[in-house]
Amino acid sequence: MRYIEFDQSRPMDLVLLGRVAIDFNPAYNDQVKEEFKPLKKVHMFEKFVGGSPANITVGVTRHGLKAGFIGKVSDDQFGDFVVEYFDEQGIDTSHITRCTGGEKLGLTFTEMLSSKESSILMYRNCIADLQLHVDDIDEEYIKNTKAILISGTALAESPSREAAIKSVMLAKKNNTKVIFDIDYREYNWKNRDEISIYYSIVAKEADIIMGSREEFDLTEKLIKPGMSDEESAAYWQGYHAKIVVIKHGMKGSTAYTSDGQSFSIKPFPVEARKGFGGGDGYGSGFLYGLYQGWDIIDCLEFGSAEASMMVRSNNCSDSLPGPAEVAAFIKEEKEQFGEMIARV
């Protein structure tokens, strides 16, 4: 059953709005191998485009979808790096604009202590992506895409939060589907009430909501704290949501559909290199499946597989796979562990 119907007459498949950053990961290649160690002990780093919505943009493009990005980047060589990388991937960059006040792209440094323990250090002061302005939002661009994805980090500060909300309003006006990736990062938020206020504004308008249990708790703090997964799904489906995906990390995730059904998936077993990046692969794979009209459980399996592929890699954007690679991974895992290895 199709829970989301995309307007096939529109030239763009998906436009994403939000954070793009620069990731510095401990080098792990043919020349240099920084083994698991504290960040302060790392000497060599590799540079990648990062930020969850940016990674999902790359991911869906690798799957053959036509994607664009609405965002703000620094007016320097790091800004050049992002735009040129997106251009090389085939991502539409016509609505990425430059900061004029000296704001810089966020820098993210990765600490990998073991296959089960990793963390990130972010520099997000005077940040470029949060300078996105309502004047940067083009109604025609939103009208010409099947869906728009809003990253929750875009709601952390003005003027970006108003730009994100304007995008949602224009999407609803033009019958463009709204996908809300809650994507909580503690940086830049002033208090928990603020998070609940702005997250719930977008969640009430979204057709698809994706987030962890903790992120739903943050969203629901001023509404009804302590809801179960089933209660959360029913609440947001009382507005516009057709699909609500709630993730529980290594325990797996469940998609709740508007007809009262639920579908669950577990992670595929891999030897992890890092504990993050999986969500970006998950989002890319899950959304790709929806665009193909697959059953929800198949979308979940594809997303879970891509998430596992990402946590075993040393980076996010460069390692995002194409559909044939994901399908081969699923086949290999099932041959090794059994047909139902990820299915609940």
Do residues 154 and 132 make contact, with C-beta atoms less than 8 angstroms apart? yes
pLDDT in tens, the chain (344 residues): 789 999 999 999 999 999 999 999 999 999 999 999 999 999 999 999 999 999 999 999 999 999 999 999 999 999 999 999 999 999 999 999 999 999 999 999 999 999 888 899 999 999 999 999 999 999 999 999 999 999 999 999 999 999 999 999 999 999 999 999 999 999 899 999 999 999 999 999 999 999 999 999 999 999 999 999 999 999 999 999 999 999 998 899 999 999 999 999 999 999 888 877 889 999 999 999 999 999 999 999 999 999 999 998 888 899 899 999 999 999 999 999 999 999 98
């224009």: which residue's tokens?
170
Confidence at residue 154, expressed as pLDDT on a 0 to 100 scale: 98
Q: What residues have CB less than 8 Å from 289, skipping those under 6 apart? A: 298, 299, 300, 302, 303
By C-alpha distance, which of 157, 217, 140, 147 is closest to 182? 217
Give me the helices (H) in 74-191, please: 77-89, 139-143, 160-173
By C-alpha distance, which of 209, 138, 144, 139 is closest to 179? 209
- Tell me the torsion sign for CA atoms 182, 184, 77, 60: negative
Q: What are phi and psi of 35, to 5 degrees?
A: -70, 175
58 sits in which H/E element: helix 52-62
In this prediction the pTM is 0.97
Q: What distance in Å separates the CA atoms of residue 77 and residue 20, rounded to the nearest whole number? A: 14
Confidence at residue 344, expressed as pLDDT on a 0 to 100 scale: 81
- Tell me the torsion sign for CA atoms 328, 304, 252, 277: positive
